[in-house]
Structure 1
Amino acid sequence: MSIDLDTLPIILAHVPVWVWLLFAWLVYSGLCALRDREQRVARLAIVPVVFILWGLSNLLLGHHGTTPVLVWLACAVVLAPAGLLSGRRLRIEPARGLVHRPGSVLPLVRNVALFAAQLWLGIAMALHPDHRDTLVAMKSALSGAMAGYFLGWALALYRAARPAA
């Protein structure tokens, strides 16, 4: 399934403004993550909460049926340990309640890739209703993987912050 490059500007012009604002914020967050920094635990939890809610909304508001739910759950379970492991690098300073994070390109790449994949799937579903079942399964897999990864990451953050609370 491809998207005709001639119609791409027209399609992108019809994407809601909030989607572009979310994209700008995800890019900004990713660029900030390139350098070492300290953040409050609550501030650090924003990106995982956004992606968890986005993943859950695709499950709850999306297409119903057993297969999409099972695909979503399977991908969430498979990716949760990866999120848990990636969150192990977090270091909490208990006296100040701050998290020390080493700079990394991973958040920028991850955020933009997840956004682009969700956007592509949304556009593909609108343009190719004849491939609905395949696209729903792909969207369920991506949403579940996204939610599972960030649930694992949020659990790692919670574990790291618990002694500091």
Structure 2
Amino acid sequence: MLLQILSHTPRWVFVLFAVLLWFGAKQLLASSVSLARTTVMPIAMTGLSISGVLSAFGDSPMALVGWGTAAVVLAALVLQFGLPEGTRYDADTRRFHLQGSAVPLVLMMGIFFTKYVVGVMMAMHPELAHNHNLALGLGTLYGAFSGTFAGRAIRLWKLAIRHDRALATEQAA
């Protein structure tokens, strides 16, 4: 059965998997990233997450409420934690210096595999698209991934804003 599922999977899905794996693996290493990049990845992954909800459940209120609630709650929860040790912001280059982390890879693979498994489930059992409990549960899972991504990006933006404000105050004095 697994071979049959894989053989019916479009090639672009394997390409997307490889791209996400590559981007996630790159983040295992310490790096320097721009403000733009800290924003683009969460937006792209949120788009993939929302697309997963909409493609499986349409505009099901249960799925959308689950997604929105989990996204807000997880973003707020992530914001309660400080940045990882060694995280720095360089105002001159407008870049963040980040330690390596497995979290982005786990989140990317979580969204990818959730979307893949849900796609297979819906292809095999289309009636599941009308299951409100499944819609709520999967919407919540997708929202949790998105909220975690968003919270991590917001923490970095807050660091940049604090740093820029402190620099502006210094220059004004």
TM-score range, shorter chain: 0.7 to 0.9
Length, aligned pairs only: 159
Which of these residues, 41, 45, 48, is aligned with residue 47 of structure 1? Answer: 41
Q: Which protein is bigger by CA-based radius of gyration? A: 2
Counterpart selection for 1:108 from 102, 105, 109: 105
| Counterpart position of 1:38 | 32
The alignment yields a C-alpha RMSD, in angstroms, of 2.5
Q: Are 1:63 and 1:136, in contact at CA under 8 Å, matched by a contact in 2?
A: no
Which residue does the alignment assign to 1:20? 14
What secondary structure does 2:83 align onto? helix
Query: Identity of paired residues, percent?
Result: 31
Counterpart in the other structure of 1:80:
75
Cα deviation code 1:109-129 (max 9, x no counterpart): 332233212211221122123
For structure 1, the residue ranges without an aligned partner over 5 or more in a row are 1-6
**CA distance 1:21–1:161, change in 2 (3 Å):** farther
TM-score by length of 1: 0.79
TM-score by length of 2: 0.76
- Kindly indicate whether the alpha-carbon contact (under 8 Å) linking 2:89 and 2:96 is maintained by their aligned counterparts in 1: yes
Structure 1's 72 and 126: CA in aligned 2 closer, same or farther, altered over 3 A?
A: same
